[in-house]
Amino acid sequence: MDDYMAIAFIRHGLTDANERGKYIGWSNPSLSRKGIDKLKQIKRSYKPYEGCFSSDLNRCLETSHFLFPEASIISSPLLRELHFGKWEGLTYEDLKGNEEYQYWITDPSKSPPGGEGIHQFIKRVEVAWEQIKGQIDSLNGDRYSVITHGGVIRHLLTSLSPKSDHRSFWDWEVSHGNGYELGWKTEEDWRDQNCTSLREVPLMARANG
């Protein structure tokens, strides 16, 4: 039986900054040549979605248009990655001697200088998810994609995954251009927090729940 609702959370394609290991939470680079080539390889493996919700940053919007050119796109700054403040554009090698950075690694509840802490980030992402659910209810479809960032997807998966497949934030592996499709079998399930099924996309290598 088909799910009542299916939502795919997909990480944007690679950028040059990603390839160099830079922190680019709110920075706005475009996709790299390598990132575009990877999306070309996997594009046909994705089934179409009726609509697409996206972070408003270039790398997500470009991924949305590339993977789902026929879908309408609704963008929101609430779907951005964690804001790394003064550490934007820097790498671990740049920062490893910074005492404040080392403290943040062990306690991410502390905000990077000029950035946001994990609790502020989580609250923002949860507001974004509530907005998406409200918009979906008004659109009357049953298959949507959300193109966003690794941290956003990890938090949503931690919050929404089936109770039988509970993982912590860092246990979720989300590579660029890939993600997970969550399914809710009935309208009643959709009104609840946790989905009833989960599978990787576009490879669909594993299914749980």
| pLDDT tens digits along 36-64 | 999 999 999 998 999 999 999 999 999 99
CA distance 160 to 63: 23
Number of domains present in the structure of the chain: 1
Task: Confirm or deny that 12 is annotated as ligand binding.
Answer: yes
Per-residue model confidence (pLDDT) at position 133: 96
Is 149 considered catalytic here? no
Catalytic residue among 50, 62, 81, 100, which?
81
Is 119 considered catalytic here? no
Catalytic residue among 12, 83, 149, 155, which?
12
Q: Which residues contact 100 (CB under 8 A, 6 or more apart)?
A: 113
CA distance 21 to 91: 6
Task: Confirm or deny that 59 is annotated as ligand binding.
Answer: yes
Per-residue model confidence (pLDDT) at position 164: 80
Task: Confirm or deny that 18 is annotated as ligand binding.
Answer: yes
Q: Quick one: the chain helix, strand, coil %, rounded to 5?
A: 45, 20, 40
Helix spans in the chain (H): 16-19, 33-42, 58-67, 92-95, 99-106, 118-139, 150-160, 187-191
Query: Residue 90 above 90 pLDDT?
Result: yes
Crossing angle of helices 118-139 and 150-160, rounded to 10°: 70
Q: What is the extent of the structural domain holding 9?
A: 5-208
* Closest alpha carbon to 122 in 91, 164, 95, 154: 154
* Closest alpha carbon to 45 in 67, 70, 65: 67
Q: Which residues contact 174 (CB under 8 A, 6 or more apart)?
A: 9, 11, 150, 153, 154, 157, 180
Per-residue model confidence (pLDDT) at position 203: 57
Query: Residue 205 above 50 pLDDT?
Result: no
| pLDDT tens digits along 138-195 | 998 999 999 999 999 999 999 999 978 878 888 999 999 999 999 999 999 999 889 9
Task: Confirm or deny that 106 is annotated as ligand binding.
Answer: no
CATH classification at residue 77:
3.40.50.1240
92 close to 112: Cβ distance less than 8 angstroms? no
Q: Which residues contact 106 (CB under 8 A, 6 or more apart)?
A: none
Task: Confirm or deny that 25 is annotated as ligand binding.
Answer: no
